[in-house]
Each structure stands twice: as structure tokens, then as C-alpha cells.
Structure 1
């Protein structure tokens, strides 16, 4: 195992994660998930030894991180935080080239092979048209991709990303995650990234680290998801205290849409209604009568008429 957490208590003045045990190997892609404030970023900072453990041990390649120098940690781990300082007057190419800094003196000129690597990463991240664009002129999404590019050029065996897809649209989110998975498998990198979206795990991750109730649950994606129902059940927000939901039989996405629609429009007890989705239309049962609606607008009009 390349990254190991052993009986670690993680936190600051108080423990956020207690008696954590987990490990990852080179080639693994791991998604770190949990609600706000549970300690995801604190865990990342503990791996970097920016936040000392309250107890226990974190090791990289069998070496305790507290015994590694800052340079040794940088050689082992490339990091992208969700909030990064933007270097003034730097272009995309300048920022991505900075990933080579740890291999050169402060003032340096990239070798030919390094420049080629930077160009390849710029192309892979779909940033070619922004190559010479000042960072201050980039969208949040492209700026995030540029910081990720810097981490890739660092060529460290471990890449850790704190909320890397927060500012990205679906297209760019997929570009980033496919690139990270490709790196893990083709170049034997260990990738650890945090997110609020557990659905990313099914498509891109091998392992999950899930923080809940001061515990760190870890394992194969499918095992952890099935052990925690709250990760797979669609959440239907109760924002209207006077609303009583009807029975809804449908796929989850249609169920979420209908629930939201009814809750927004009716502060009533709708428990006598039953909705069933039948491919292209809704079957609605109310007081032994059956109705058919082909759109949500028709549903609103029907309920307003009946109730």
C-alpha cells in the first residue's frame, strides 16, 4: 500500500474523525465524500502534514509524513485546493509549467521534453485556445482546469484534489475525471479527490472514503454505496410543512420532479392521490377515478380542479 492511515484521530482543537484506518495503492482512484464540516479538507491537510494528527499515523510508501520534509512531500504529492491564490499576470501555460518547479532552481527554463509535456496536458484538458490567456481573464471552470494541469505536470505519484469539479459544467467535469482515471491506470498514479456528488464514484472511482459521524468508512465503491442507503436514495427536500405527499410510483428522477412540483404548488394533504408513471404519461388515481396526464402542466390543472 502506498498511502496508509492507521488509527488516526484527525482534527484541530477537537476530533473530527476518530480512529481512522484506510489505505490506497498506486493506480487507485478514490472519491472522498461527506457533508460540509465533517473533516474532508482537514483529512487532506493531515495527509500533507499541514495539520498534525491528534493521534495515530499517516504514511506514504511506509514513511511517516511527519518525518518528511516539505520538498519530499511535494515530490510525493501534487495538490489542488478548491480555493487557490491566482498568480498575477500568469498565463495558463505559465501556471501549468509551474508544476516543474520542484525539479529546478527558482529561476529555470524548461527543457524541450518538459515543454512538450506541458503542451500535451494543455491539449488534453481542452485549454489550447486559452494557452496564452491571463489567468484573471479565465472562467472559474477553465481556471480550475489550469490548476489541475499544474498538478499533473508535477509528476508526483499521488495527486490529491479538493473539490476539483465544483466550478465545472458536465463536459469539463467529464474531461477532468476521465483524465485523472487515465493517469491512474496508464501512469500508475494514486488519485484522491473530494466531492459532494457520490454519483461520480460509480463512473470514475475504484474506492470511496466516506466520512460520517466522526468515522471514516473505506472500501470498494459498490460495497460502500450499498452499505449506506443515504448515498443511493434520492433526497426529496421537505420545504413545505403543510404538504403531505401522495403515493408516487416511478423512476427516481420523475419522482423527484413530481414531488418538487406538487410541494411548490399545493399546501395540502395529497395522500388520497396515487401517481404512477407509465413511460410517456402519468396515471393518476383519486377517489376511485383514474385520470391520465401527459405533462406536469396537465397535472397541476387536474389537481386544482379536483381538490
Structure 2
């Protein structure tokens, strides 16, 4: 699966973002950030074909989105909105199974294979004990998992979530963010989501799509944040108990971003490594040599070869 935004201009009577470019591949988790009103929801709705592009092209697996109808788009992209309407009298199993009907007429009866897949999704989301509960009986965190389950049942290669952690406490935010990353990596999907809690959400995203000053900036999360240092206040989040940090000699911002990047991609003991920030480069001391690197993408390549 590949999503490509090519020189897109989005908005209404007045453009919100002009000449934006971005590319995502299977397994990518991409976080959309930006101030209120800059176009985050507009971007999502444009990708979904709900708002027309002003200029440029959006391509899914090299198919031009403008040439796909809503049903064809729904077979490639499922969506979870932060303010989803909760259907009356629906159980957990009912709503998750409902995701299957994008592939069938509304009167169709789900077959044995479909029902088994719905059961597997319920089990994988830790919702088995709630499967016959009505939706309004659930906690906010479990309700959000059910809507994600419906998107999984839709069985699309890409899932878009608009503010999936809104109104959740920190424990449930971590649960949902972990779930999204696991889905992307283990079920080989693209996850694109927006969040106001981006300082925490960045810990789980591979890439960032930053909307700022009518421009779209995209790339490896830590590279984007380093290029826009006004965004961050240094803070080290410990999200992986297996991760042991290497020695990092750097200003607080660079240290935070490297720490974030390493524990996301290398959840293991890295105490034998040493990173020193010097004149815009990371000096990386490995067992047998020293490397000088100025971006996180090259660090990923280097450490993947050695680990």
C-alpha cells in the first residue's frame, strides 16, 4: 500500500495548504499536527474524497483518488472520527461486524468466515468479555477500541483516525496509541491520525505531517520536529520497559528526539552505544567504528545493520 500526496492544494474558497507533498508506505504510522484551523480535518476529508482538491493529486497504490467513487475509496481506507455517533441498541459485536458490510449489500448475511474474523478482532482488542454489551455501557477507552475494531473489520490497507485520543485519560491514550502502532506493524496497514496530544503521540509515530503557515511538512517524526524546534518542550517519555538508553551527550531538545526515536525503533538494551551531538551531526560510537550522521533516517539504516 502506498499513499502519495502530490503538489496538493486544499481548502474551500481560500486555500489552507498549498503545494503539499507526502508519501506513506505499508507499516507507517503518521501523525498529523498543527494549530486549530490550519486544515487537519480538511486534509483528512480531502483524502477521503469528501472535499474536492483545489489542485494536485492524491494517489492510492498509483490510482488517482479523483477517479474512485466513495465505495471504491471505502475498500481502501477506513475511518474513525473522534465524534462518532453511538448507535442505539448496538452491541460491541454488532458494531464491529457492521464494518463488513462495506463489501456486501445491507441485507446480506455474514458468512462463517466473516463471523470468525469478527470474533478474532474482538479477541485481539481485548473486548471478549464485552462483546454482548451495548455500546453505551462501555468506558470511553473501550468504546474507541470498538470503533477501531469496526475499521479493522472493513479490512482496508489504510486507516485514518481523527483525534482518536480526545477525552481519554492518559492510561487509555497510551492503550489506543499502542494499539494503532501494533495494527500498523503487525497487520501491515498505513495509520494516519491527528492529535492534539501530539507530544505524547509522537512517541508512537514513524512520520509527522505538520501543517503550518499554509504549508505541509512531512518526514521522519524526529527530523520534522528538529527542523521546527519551536514545537517542542524537552520531555523524555518512558514507554517501553525493555529499552535501555545509550549514553547521549546533547542539548535537551536533540536528546529528547533521539531518545524518542531509539526506543520506538530499537526496544532493547543500547547502553553500549554513545551518541554525541556536535555541530549539527550525531557522532555515533559503535564497537568498531565511529559514524557522523545528520538525520534520523540514516541513523535508522545504520543501527538496523548493526542490530
User: Which TM-score band (shorter chain)?
Assistant: 0.7 to 0.9
1:165 matched to 2:165? The reply is yes
Equivalent pair of 2:141/2:176 in contact (CA under 8 Å): no
Equivalent pair of 1:79/1:161 in contact (CA under 8 Å): yes
Aligned length: 237
CA distance in 1, matches of 2:197, 2:215: 19
CA distance in 1, matches of 2:190, 2:101: 21
Deviations 1:104-141 (A, max 9, x none): 22123322332222223223323233211222333333
Q: 1:18 to 1:199 in 2, by over 3 A?
A: same
Q: Which residue of 2 aligns with 1:233?
A: 233
CA distance in 1, matches of 2:173, 2:196: 13
Q: Which residue of 2 aligns with 1:35?
A: 35
Q: Which residue of 1 aligns with 2:69?
A: 69
Equivalent pair of 1:217/1:224 in contact (CA under 8 Å): yes
> Which runs of structure 1 show a deviation greater than 4 angstroms over 4 or more consecutive aligned residues?
none
Q: How far is the alpha carbon of 1:232 from its aligned partner?
A: 1.6
CA distance in 2, matches of 1:140, 1:186: 25
Q: Which residue of 2 aligns with 1:99?
A: 99
Q: What do you get for the CA RMSD once the two structures are aligned?
A: 2.0
Q: How far is the alpha carbon of 1:149 from its aligned partner?
A: 1.0
CA distance in 1, matches of 2:180, 2:116: 19
Q: How far is the alpha carbon of 1:143 from its aligned partner?
A: 2.1
CA distance in 1, matches of 2:177, 2:113: 25
Matching of residues 142-157 of structure 1 within 5 Å: 142-157=142-157
CA distance in 1, matches of 2:34, 2:154: 28
Matching of residues 1-307 of structure 1 within 5 Å: 2-233=2-233
Bigger Rg, which one? 1
CA distance in 1, matches of 2:127, 2:168: 13
Equivalent pair of 1:144/1:167 in contact (CA under 8 Å): no
CA distance in 1, matches of 2:120, 2:175: 14
Q: How far is the alpha carbon of 1:211 from its aligned partner?
A: 0.7
Q: How far is the alpha carbon of 1:234 from its aligned partner?
A: 5.9
Secondary structure in 2 matching 1:79: strand
Deviations 1:30-60 (A, max 9, x none): 1111111111000000001100011111111
CA distance in 1, matches of 2:158, 2:6: 18
Equivalent pair of 1:125/1:175 in contact (CA under 8 Å): no
Q: How far is the alpha carbon of 1:201 from its aligned partner?
A: 4.4
Equivalent pair of 1:124/1:179 in contact (CA under 8 Å): no
What 5-or-longer segments of structure 1 have no aligned partner?
236-250, 253-307
Deviations 1:38-90 (A, max 9, x none): 11000000001100011111111111111101111000001011112222211
Q: 1:179 to 1:140 in 2, by over 3 A?
A: closer
Q: How far is the alpha carbon of 1:9 from its aligned partner?
A: 0.8
CA distance in 1, matches of 2:172, 2:114: 25
CA distance in 2, matches of 1:218, 1:8: 13
Secondary structure in 1 matching 2:18: strand
Secondary structure in 2 matching 1:58: strand
TM-score, with structure 2 as normaliser: 0.72
Secondary structure in 1 matching 2:200: helix
